[in-house]
Structure 1
Amino acid sequence: MNNLRSASLLFSAIAVMSVPIALADALPPAIQAVESRGAEVVGSFEAPGGLTGYAARYNGQGIGLYLTPDGEHVLIGTLLDASGEDLTQAPLEKLVYEPLGKEMWQRLEGSTLITDGSADARRIVYVFSDPNCPFCNVFWKQARPWVEAGDVQLRHVMVGMLRPDSAGKSAALLAAEDPEAALNAHEAAGKASKLEPIETISPKVLEELEANLMLMGEMGASATPAIYYLDDEGRLQQQQGAPRPDSLKAIMGPLSTDQ
């Protein structure tokens, strides 16, 4: 992590037990010092060797903090046992990544988007899309078998970032009488698309597009398509760019027409 040193310790056992952190001033000064660098402590857990473990978020990632028995020092990084097993990942998964994934999924649900496919689809896949993005077009084409079979609903979170007219084109799609049909016609046409950008975007739509772009950055994506889905264990997963065939199957799940 930037500005934070990582360390590895060798111990033999750890128990994952969430202890909510109610107030910042309840934290030991050494832990507060890490928070002053930008980390957010979200819970604590039992650790071996007299250490007290804390789980924190930093730049969208989870980090493990280990307070020494004297309460005056904190070690930051991954805790390993004598066999080399990672003892930090389980607490971070429970205290950081699971809640963060649910939070991000809820924010995706509340974004300004265009749905593509059946509302009864067994799987939902979110994708940050720019109308001028050729790789978004590749992914749209890749997804057709699953969407047309009713297995997957794509939810295009529209942004305008690639070209000066990208925002205007996203606004035009959102303002269409049938946004789903307009988006599909645009993607099906590819380079021959006749989609015209809106020259003057309403303040409301402009605010929505800016909020989508901000959400995209907060979710760790810097280019389109940025794809988000829940895996078979319900964990939020990300794919940056048009996926390769093996990754595509993981994103979309089984195709009912193949069964």
Structure 2
Amino acid sequence: MQTNRILVAATLVFCSNTALADSGLPPIVESSGAPDATIEHKFDPGVPGLKGWVIRMGGEPNLFYTTEDGEHALLGTLIGPGGENLTEKHTAEFLAESQSADLQNALEAARTAPLQIQEGEGGHQLYITVDPNCPFCTAYHEVTREILDLITINWIPVGILGEDSLRQVALIADADDTLTALEKSLGQGVDGEPSDAGRELAERNTNQMLNANLNAAPISIWVNADGTPVKRSGVLDAETLKSLADN
């Protein structure tokens, strides 16, 4: 006789003896100290003794499973009878919706950034967060020199690496030629004190990106041919950037 079994290919990441959380969060999440944790979905994973959750922590939605009492959490792949990947199914059903909403929000935040600097002549729009003190942003800027005839880049200056970054973004905002000011800032930094208006714009730009979970630099965001937004962190190579123009 064949017996159906559930395989949990997962890691036991926490144990807790916390009483049931008033917030509705499983005790293991409540005891983790994540101040902004909120439930987006709670579902039955179809496995006796387990509960399924999508909980937003640190601005990101996370899918995982807990025991019925919420005292233990499992991260990993849940495999059902016949080898069915239940986690893949749950991701498509519950997590993908939250991720898609996040991407749309990030795209809208990038498109409406109050301070963005455009260069290039291509029809495809690429939005990139850039911090003046980020060496990876400087390297990314150099890579993009090869594709300016194929893609239009919208640089979004942010001050996420400290007060000096925010000061330099404010000076870029004050400049008559913001593109030249950005390039100078990336290459060697700029001295001086910005105006109050420049500082206010720098703070507003940075906060708008942070609120959309565009909280690093460089982050690239664009729209594929099928209309879906894509977000990538780090420096993309020239070949990847050229492929965007073909979509």
Q: TM-score range by the shorter chain?
A: 0.5 to 0.7
Cα distance between partner residues in 2 of 1:199 and 1:231: 37
Corresponding position: 1:32 with 2:24: yes
> Which residue identity does 1:32 align to in structure 2?
G
Equivalent pairs counted in the alignment come to 215
Q: CA contact under 8 A between 2:131 and 2:160: conserved in structure 1? A: no
| Unaligned 5+ runs, structure 1 | 1-8, 12-27
Q: For structure 2, list consecutive stretches of 5 or more residues without a partner in the other structure.
A: 1-5, 9-19
State the AA in 2 paired with 1:106.
E
2:202 is matched with 209
After superposition, the Cα gap between the structure-2 partners of 1:187 and 1:209, relative to the gap in structure 1 and judged at 3 Å, is closer
Provide the aligned C-alpha RMSD in A: 3.9
Pairwise CA distance, 1:142 = 0.9
- The aligned counterpart of 1:183 is 182
Give TM-score scaled by structure 1 length: 0.63
Q: CA deviation at 1:91?
A: 3.4
Task: Identify the match of residue 220 of structure 2 among 228, 239, 251.
Answer: 228
1:80 — aligned with what? 78
Question: Is structure 2 residue 106 aligned with structure 1 residue 95?
Answer: no
Is 1:47 the counterpart of 2:45 in the alignment?
yes
Aligned equivalent of 1:146: 147
Matches of 2:22 and 2:163, distance apart in 1 = 48
Distance 1:91 1:56, change over 3 A: farther
- Bigger mean CA offset, 208-217 vs 120-129: 208-217
8 Å CA contact 2:219–2:232 kept in 1: the answer is yes
Q: Does structure 2 conserve the Cα–Cα contact (< 8 Å) formed by 1:114 and 1:180?
A: no
Partners of 1:200 and 1:73 in 2: CA distance: 51
Cα–Cα, structure 1 residues 63 and 138, in superposed 2: closer, same or farther, change >3 Å? closer
> In the aligned structure 2, how far is the partner of 1:164 from the partner of 1:80?
45
Identity of aligned residues (%): 16
Query: C-alpha displacement at 1:115, in angstroms?
Result: 2.2
Aligned mate of 1:199, from 184, 193, 196: 193
Deviation at 1:60, TM superposition (A): 2.8
8 Å CA contact 1:44, 1:52 repeated in 2: yes
